[in-house]
Structure 1
Amino acid sequence: MRVLRGITNWMLLAVLPVLLLAGCSFENDGVQPGGGGAGGGGTGRPAIAASPKAADTVAENALPGTPDWKLRKRGQADEIEGYADRVSVLPGESFQLFVSTTTRGFKVEAFRVGWYGGAQARKLWESPRQPGVRQAYPKVNNENYTVTAPWKPSLTVTTKDWPEGVYLLRLSADSGAQRFVPMTLRSAQTAGRLVILNATTTWQAYNLWGGHNLYNGPSGYGDRARAVSFDRPYDKDGTGKFMGYEHPAIVLAEKTGKQLAYATDNDLHANPDLLKGARGLVTLGHDEYWSTNMRTNVTKARDSGVNIAFLGANAVNRHIRFSPTKLGPDRLVTCYKDSSEDPVAKTDPKESTQDWRLPPAPRPESDLIGIMYNCFPAAGSFTVHRPGGWLFRGTGVREGTAFPGLIGPETDAINPAGPTPRPIEVLAHSPIDCGGVPKTADATYYTTKSGSGVVATGTMRWVCAMRGPKCGHGVTEAGRRFVTKATENLLLAMAAGPLGATYPVKDNLREFTG
């Protein structure tokens, strides 16, 4: 979130009305010359012959992995980079890649993320060498500072025989420079499975490719983008926020052997029945930007018995709108961050794009998550308060057990002004330093009348901590073991059915609100 509002906004919550919302061949026929193949973009739905069969997580991860899936050499910023005309596709559908390189040629390899005996990915496909082209410079819209890459398609990729999951497409230039392009092969149906949600809107919000994102422009906050487009590459390694906030959790989820389904924020927005019959929804380390449809669809799923896990913090904080681009629907994310700037604030206040908790139609995120965003920059130790519960079973923790570095850089906490679902149990209550101001971060569990359970970790570093000391920030090996075991407990319990039926909440909110 980065910018916190003044204390008056917190006080406002107490008096303003809150609306409750309610195995693959390496044949060359998978690649076609640029310009053909799939039309549209975003979450567009081209026709296919039949719905693909759901992937078997156990069978898939029993296959040999490919340890050599990471970037060997990033090279110069423009040496090679690319993007796809779709955020997700169904298995068997095609998508176009737009690639720019300063070298004479390049190739593409597709790696599916998973456990694979510790290899963490499996290579399913490789393209023939493609001719390299240095494409046009970024185009910036002077009205809202939206950046696009007005490029010509380089090749069309057909996902025949690719199972559902998250893929990293590795672009390799003749020079050896490499970048990734992420692609989600979404699930046609999610009934009986845990749905892993890629936070694609947040990836794009922070994407500074071309000089503008929703936080900054060349001159700072003033010329930040008011809308960001998927019609451009991601900066840095090309994966957005995926590697730091999602990859370790997906590897762990696949390792559990539970049947998984995959979707993106764009899919959650576009499909009101996406979560119908699902056992649970898992949002990962940083899922900040949500549309009305996203929030409505998740609330409806929760109220029908679908469990939810928020393995991060600062989720459901920014309200957004989706719009189409020339490449297809839902490829433009609008967020003014200030209702005084948003032209719809007076005509359609419920769709104004500022923090969800703020006027003109405040709907604090705690109504769904249980806790709400309270700090950046945060630093501290995750401190256990209720050690005997099901979530911490087998971790060996006691009341007051603390794990250094696990709190940060943003946190959530119980907010006395609410709204706070009941019954709710505070599982961890962690003292933190919030840029020199003492505060606390909370992890919570609440249940609903439908039987669903909602767990929120309250820290953005939960997923990163699955890497142990490699996460940095003082995270220890003991912290890695704790987070890994607690997450396994959570995923296994969610997959078994509505959490509330098996694990009733021991409400302790009064300990923290008086």
Structure 2
Amino acid sequence: MSTTAASFRVSAFRIGWYGGAQARLVWSSGRVPGRARPAPRFLPDTRTVRADWPRTLTCDTSGWPEGAYLLRLDADTGHQRYLPLIVRSTRATGRTVLMHAPATWQAYNRWGGYSLYNGSSGAYATRSLVVSFDRPYDGDGAEKFLVYERAAVVLAERLGIPLAYTTGTDVHRDPGVLRGATTVVALGHDEYWTPQQRDHLTRARDSGTNIAFLGANTCFRRVRLEQGDTAADRTVVCYKSAVRSDPYYATHPALATTDFRLAPAPDPESSLTGVLYEGYPTDAPYVVHTADHWLYEGTGVRAGDGFAHLVGVEYDRVTPDPSVPAPLEITAHSPLVCNGRPSHSDSAYYTAAGGAGVFATGTMRWVEGLMAGTPDGGRDHGMDTRTRDFVTRTTENLLRGFAQGPAARHRPAPRPNTDDVYRSTTA
């Protein structure tokens, strides 16, 4: 920690339902003396910022229930910051696994002036090529977790289905964390994946584990996790459009860091997700197509019903080509305009040969929709309580259905309709 305050305290809250409280205090520190630390270290070759500060405080998590936590830092000046923390599960058999996305958190983190998107001047050309976990998060410290993950955790815990918790970096290291899982849930913004993480999720799907993608732009960037000074997997590498400068470009092309769909080893994400990321930014209604789908049971929707602002700010669509799994059913087909070009966002459901069901919402605002119109709504983008009720019931149907095991065995099979949907769209 680095602070100009004379002291601070730390409180650890486990996120869950808890009768509507949505969090429970599990630990608090005593008063910790504050100290301002030196300026961060800057590595010019990759434009990487690292704090490299000594440890200020250690807390023992023995006895903490596995789950998603927020650590709140309270300075004696009244200032607050958060730290997201996942106490990971050691087994997943028979459980729904919530897979959090720290590589994506870190990719967007601009603490110290640099992220994988911008340098200190704000320019893309001076962005980091490698970002480090050895630095704080910017803003309130937990923006990506609070916006794209927390509400899904609360809902899943409220349902009472057996849950397990992990992160994309844990799945990268060890496919065993998924063994026997009924379902893996990728949350609202999970853009940055290693090839190993993708391979382990694909193998889990092929063995019968259902997958739910509650966002858009998922599994879009191929990254590497590399050694830091003191521990493994402390840096996220992504050269993006500068991929020819990646040391792996010529020697290990399948590990070169750019979009999964691009050279030198193109492998579009749609072979796993069923949908393909197409654009940013957009704001459009979510339009139901197959209203009688089991996902929409109890919502009261009819074909053509729309939910304002639910599609955005990034979106995915089905692209009819051989890489898309089959049989696949489009359940929502939402007209939109992105950068002046008309297109569509699609929600899609398919089943794999091993029995797994896979559902993708096709919109990044799905988890935000769970909070629409509430005091916790935050950036609800104008979504209303009707939208919240629809997203909540649909997500409940999805998680309860997938928790029963391979969806192909106990849920109606997809009714392939991609050709019909897009034929009618272009007619």
Would the TM-score normalized by the shorter structure come out above 0.5?
Answer: yes
| Greater shift in the superposed pair: 221-230 or 470-479 | 470-479
Cα deviation code 1:59-80 (max 9, x no counterpart): xxxxxxxxxxxxxxxxxxxxxx
Task: Summarize the Cα distance change of 1:121–1:107 in structure 2 as closer, same or farther, 3 Å threshold.
Answer: same
Measured in 1, the distance between the counterparts of 2:52 and 2:255 equals 29
Measured in 2, the distance between the counterparts of 1:106 and 1:474 equals 37
Q: Within 5 Å, which residues of 2 pair with 1:44-443? A: 99-219=1-121, 220-338=123-241, 339-443=243-347
Measured in 2, the distance between the counterparts of 1:399 and 1:168 equals 40
| Greater shift in the superposed pair: 335-344 or 188-197 | 335-344
Cα-Cα RMSD: 1.0
Measured in 1, the distance between the counterparts of 2:32 and 2:322 equals 56
Residue 176 of structure 1 deviates from its aligned partner by 1.1
Cα deviation code 1:456-480 (max 9, x no counterpart): 0000000001111334322111000
Are 1:458 and 2:362 counterparts?
yes
The correspondence for 1:497, drawn from 384, 402, 405, is 405
Structure 2 unaligned runs (5+)? none
Measured in 2, the distance between the counterparts of 1:209 and 1:318 equals 21
Residue 161 of structure 1 deviates from its aligned partner by 1.5
Measured in 2, the distance between the counterparts of 1:379 and 1:439 equals 12
Measured in 2, the distance between the counterparts of 1:509 and 1:502 equals 23
Q: Contact conserved, 1:366 with 1:418, CA < 8 A, in 2?
A: no
* Amino-acid identity (%): 49
Q: Contact conserved, 1:407 with 1:461, CA < 8 A, in 2?
A: yes
Are 1:510 and 2:419 counterparts?
yes
Measured in 1, the distance between the counterparts of 2:142 and 2:227 equals 22
Residue 365 of structure 1 deviates from its aligned partner by 0.3
Residue 418 of structure 1 deviates from its aligned partner by 4.7
| Greater shift in the superposed pair: 501-510 or 300-309 | 501-510
1:510 partner amino acid: D
Residue 513 of structure 1 deviates from its aligned partner by 4.6
| Greater shift in the superposed pair: 467-476 or 403-412 | 467-476
Residue 189 of structure 1 deviates from its aligned partner by 0.4
Tell me the SS of whatever aligns to 1:182: strand
Cα deviation code 1:336-381 (max 9, x no counterpart): 0022221211111111111000111100000000010011001100
Instruction: Find the counterpart in structure 1 of residue 382 from structure 2.
Output: 474
2:194 partner amino acid: S
Structure 1 unaligned runs (5+)? 1-98
2:90 partner amino acid: A
Instruction: Find the counterpart in structure 2 of residue 73 from structure 1.
Output: none
| Greater shift in the superposed pair: 293-302 or 336-345 | 336-345
Residue 402 of structure 1 deviates from its aligned partner by 0.2
Cα deviation code 1:388-432 (max 9, x no counterpart): 011000000000000001000000001134511000000000001
TM-score (norm 2): 0.96
Q: Contact conserved, 1:429 with 1:443, CA < 8 A, in 2?
A: yes
Tell me the SS of whatever aligns to 1:218: coil
Residue 437 of structure 1 deviates from its aligned partner by 1.6
Residue 240 of structure 1 deviates from its aligned partner by 4.2
Q: Contact conserved, 2:41 with 2:49, CA < 8 A, in 1?
A: yes
Q: Contact conserved, 2:320 with 2:418, CA < 8 A, in 1?
A: no
Tell me the SS of whatever aligns to 1:158: coil
Tell me the SS of whatever aligns to 1:282: strand
Q: Contact conserved, 2:89 with 2:177, CA < 8 A, in 1?
A: no
Residue 436 of structure 1 deviates from its aligned partner by 2.2
Measured in 2, the distance between the counterparts of 1:489 and 1:417 equals 29
Residue 331 of structure 1 deviates from its aligned partner by 1.2
Cα deviation code 1:194-216 (max 9, x no counterpart): 00011110000000000000000
Cα deviation code 1:262-312 (max 9, x no counterpart): 001110101121111000000110100000110000000000000000000
Cα deviation code 1:228-264 (max 9, x no counterpart): 1100110001114100000111100100000100001
